[in-house]
Amino acid sequence: MEYYATLGMVVSLLIVILYNTIKILKEYERGVIFLLGRFQKVKGPGLIILFPGIQKMTKVDLRVIVMDVPTQDVISRDNVSVKVNAVIYFRIVDPEKAVIRVADVFEATSQLSQTTLRSVLGQHELDDMLAEREKLNTDIQGLLDQRTDNWGIKVANVEIKHVDLDESMIRAIAQQAEAERARRAKIINAEAEKQAATMLSEAAHILAGEEQALQLRYLQTLKEISNERTNTIVFPMPLEFIEPILSVTRKKTQA
């Protein structure tokens, strides 16, 4: 019985030693090796052999990580309070920096993302947040990528998900949009009136300079009147027809 007990202890000890000695890393994993507490090298992927008690390994995932940025209260440059949340895509490109230079790389990246989001959006007005979201995404991504470079992090993309407004602000924006549409409608009507007046002025100038054109217009007017369904027709007579009659009448009156 003592033999089997001793054998069992030896087998258990061997299993523990092998478990702590042999490590297998996947293709997307790397191991940061420390020898007696000092950084030695980065290994992987594949089979890694460690000396128990002397070497220790911290495993790092190199895949792209998707992290939600919690909703942040942001005050825009035009003093409008909004709630904004976002999502960031990043990955570890330098396992040594990610392990040695920061205690918790994911928590540090999350906190930095929140402060950067508030800082960048606070420099813009509300209209920019709603209309120029792509530019804001690029600005936040560039700033985050620069600040996390010392941690071995590469920020690939930042996307602002929602910009939530108060009900009062939503109504104010709707009223502003309605007023803007009314203004544009008035401008379009004024432009149309201006163009119509210009064309009528040009037409009147042409008719005044060409007697034949004026006569053709007169005949066209008569044709339009003849098509009217009415009992009374007012027949317009040119002034050159009336002027001789008026002259004779004036002469008789003077005599």
Question: What mean pLDDT do residues 59-66 have?
Answer: 94
In a domain, 175, yes or no: no
Domain that holds residue 100: 65-170
Task: Name the pTM for this structure.
Answer: 0.64
Residue 12: the pLDDT is 76
Provide the pLDDT confidence category of residue 209 given band limits of 50, 70 and 90: low
Do 132 and 84 reside in the same domain of the chain? yes
What count of other Cβ atoms lies within 10 Å of the Cβ of residue 225?
13
Do 50 and 144 reside in the same domain of the chain? no
Interacting residues of 93 by C-beta distance below 8 A, sequence separation 6+ = 62, 152, 153, 154
Structurally, how many domains does the chain consist of? Answer: 2
In a domain, 166, yes or no: yes
Residue 64: the pLDDT is 95
Do 105 and 165 reside in the same domain of the chain? yes
Residue 30: the pLDDT is 94
Task: For residue 128, give the CATH number of its domain.
Answer: 3.30.479.30
Of residues 57 and 172, more confidently modeled? 57
Residue 18: the pLDDT is 73
HSE toward the beta carbon, residue 90, CA cutoff 13 A = 31
In a domain, 141, yes or no: yes
Q: Choose the final residue of a domain: 136, 170, 204.
A: 170
In a domain, 217, yes or no: no
Q: Which of 51-60, 167-176, 194-203 has the lowest mean pLDDT?
A: 167-176
- Using one digit for the tens of pLDDT, what is the confidence trace for 96-145? 999 999 999 999 999 999 999 999 998 988 888 888 889 999 999 999 99
Integer Cα distance of 139 and 54 in angstroms: 45
Q: Choose the final residue of a domain: 128, 147, 170.
A: 170
The torsion angles phi and psi of 114, rounded to 5 degrees, stand at -65, -45
Judge whether residue 95 has pLDDT over 80: yes
Of residues 28 and 248, more confidently modeled? 28
Residue 184: the pLDDT is 82
Give 72's strand partners: 84
Question: What mean pLDDT do residues 64-78 have?
Answer: 91
Do 23 and 86 reside in the same domain of the chain? no
In a domain, 208, yes or no: no
Integer Cα distance of 218 and 133 in angstroms: 62
Residue 102: the pLDDT is 93
Assess contact for 54 and 36: CB atoms under 8 A.
yes
Do 135 and 121 reside in the same domain of the chain? yes
Do 75 and 127 reside in the same domain of the chain? yes
Of residues 236 and 221, more confidently modeled? 221
Do 118 and 83 reside in the same domain of the chain? yes
Query: In 3-state terms, the chain is what percent helix, strand and coil (to 5)?
Result: 55, 25, 20
Q: Choose the final residue of a domain: 114, 145, 170.
A: 170
Interacting residues of 99 by C-beta distance below 8 A, sequence separation 6+ = 32, 58, 60, 105
